[in-house]
Amino acid sequence: MGDKNFNTFIDFGKNEIRACSFNKETEKIENQFELTIKNNQSKDLLSEEELVEDLIFNLEKKNGEYLDEISLMVDSSDILFISLSIYKKNDEKILNDNFLKYITDEAKYEINKNYPKYEIVHSIIKNFYIDEKKFSELPKNLGHNKFAVEFNFFVYPKLFLENLREIFARQNVIIKKFIFSSYSKSIFYLNKISDHGKVILVDIGFEKTSAFLFEDRKIQQFNILPIGGNHISKDISKILKIKISKANELKLNINNIDNNKDLTQDEIELVKKIIFSRTEELLEKSTLFLKNNNNLKKIKLFFFGNGSKILDNKFKSNIIFNYDIDLLDEDYIDICLSGLSLAGSEEKTFSNEVILKKAEKGLFEKFFNLFG
């Protein structure tokens, strides 16, 4: 595996699969491939395997080498967001260079013990505390009486990940890293936003919506909703009694819907009403996880993802939402770059190695918070 020329990232979406191969030396995209999933193929295991086989074949053809490992970007509606703080005293001898790895492994052990049916996908260090003072980065001097690290973890069901591993294994491809796609993209866009205060980034996907609240570039809250752009198409399909493909076409072409000769005027107005009401519902629900919605006046809202395209139309003034929003353009390059960037930053943060020592009972306390 070490003599390969490319690092490949695959974004495994519900209606599109995108893949990019980065040159290992330049870290630039040299090859990319996209597949559109039709007729809900992603719910059929056989179709899913055929899509992966087609994807791997085309990537190997473009790269001119066998593909044996990838990083897989994927979302799951069953993801959990867990907060955990580890408190320690200075009577434990930990070298400064190894402190972060040592504490992180302690935290991961607790997550694995308490959530045996889940697997950690992302470990996030939120804050450090030295003698009850908060720091955003690890201080050099740890010679204090008390110190603590506050973590966030994103965990996926093991069964979900194992099914994906098996699908790719049948093509002789190992998944070396899983990446929460919506989170990866949120971090990528967050780094392009100049505002350092409170920011909400919302990824409107095919059948789910992920919302992230950041403050001072640190994730504070997360929510995932089982509603996305496809639910609008389903509503149109059900009410007008037309195929889902036709309903999706009407949704995507809303700017020209007044010229549609296949619909009566009443049907045109009905389609608009469905789109506007569903969109308003999605906007409201994506921000309900905040304890006080009035705070939105001081928070910047950014929406992205395929489902967010419905917000950019000539009728958008008819969508009732009391807060200003910004729309972010998204393409396959940004998606793949977000995966590469997040994987690199996590590797750098947690690269130190340490031999764990068994901590004596009573030397640390742990506190959990679960959002899912």
Q: Does residue 235 sit in helix, strand or coil?
A: helix
Per-residue model confidence (pLDDT) at position 102? 80
The answer to whether the CB of 4 falls within 8 A of the CB of 68 is: yes
Adjacent-strand bridge partners of 244: none
**pLDDT tens for the chain, residues 1 to 372:** 457 889 999 999 888 899 999 999 888 999 988 888 775 545 555 578 888 999 999 999 999 999 999 999 999 999 999 999 988 775 555 545 567 778 889 999 999 999 999 999 999 998 888 777 777 776 665 555 677 889 999 999 999 999 999 999 999 999 999 999 999 999 999 998 887 788 999 999 888 999 999 988 889 899 998 888 899 999 999 999 999 989 989 998 888 888 999 999 999 999 999 988 888 888 888 877 665 555 667 788 899 988 787 777 666 677 777 777 888 888 888 999 999 999 998 887 766 443 333 334 333 445 565 554
SS3 107: helix
Alpha helices by DSSP H, the chain: 45-63, 99-114, 158-169, 181-190, 229-240, 244-252, 265-285, 332-349
d(CA 80, CA 112): 13
Question: What pLDDT is attached to residue 347?
Answer: 83
How far is it, in rounded angstroms, from Cα 112 to Cα 39?
A: 37
pLDDT recorded at residue 143: 59
- Buried residues in 248-281 as b, exposed as e (16+ CB within 10 A): bebbeebeebeeeeebeeebbeebbebbbebbee
CB 363 within 8 A of CB 139: no
**How do the residues of the chain divide into helix, strand and coil, expressed in percent and rounded to 5?**
40, 30, 30
Indicate the helix (H) or strand (E) that contains 83.
strand 80-89
Q: Residues for the chain: how many in total?
A: 372
Structure confidence at residue 358 (pLDDT): 36
Going across the sheet that includes 325-327, the strands are: 218-225, 209-215, 198-204, 300-304, 325-327
pLDDT attached to residue 357: 36
Which pLDDT value is given to residue 7? 93
pLDDT for position 356 = 34
Going by the DSSP 8-state scheme, the letter that residue 254 receives in this structure is G
Q: Which domains does the chain have, with CATH numbers?
A: 6-76+160-181 (3.30.420.40), 80-158+346-371 (3.30.1490.110), 185-333 (3.30.420.40)
CB 44 within 8 A of CB 14: no
Query: Helices 229-240 and 265-285 meet at what angle, rounded to 10?
Result: 150
pLDDT for res 247? 92
Distant-in-sequence, close-in-space partners of 191: CB < 8 Å, separation ≥ 6? 217, 341
- Residue 178 has what pLDDT? 98
What end-to-end distance do the CA atoms of the chain give, in Å? 37
Q: DSSP secondary-structure letter at 153?
A: E
To which H or E segment does residue 177 belong?
strand 174-180
Burial class (CB in 10 A: 0-12, 13-18, 19+), 56: buried
> What's the CA gap between 72 and 197, in Å, rounded?
31
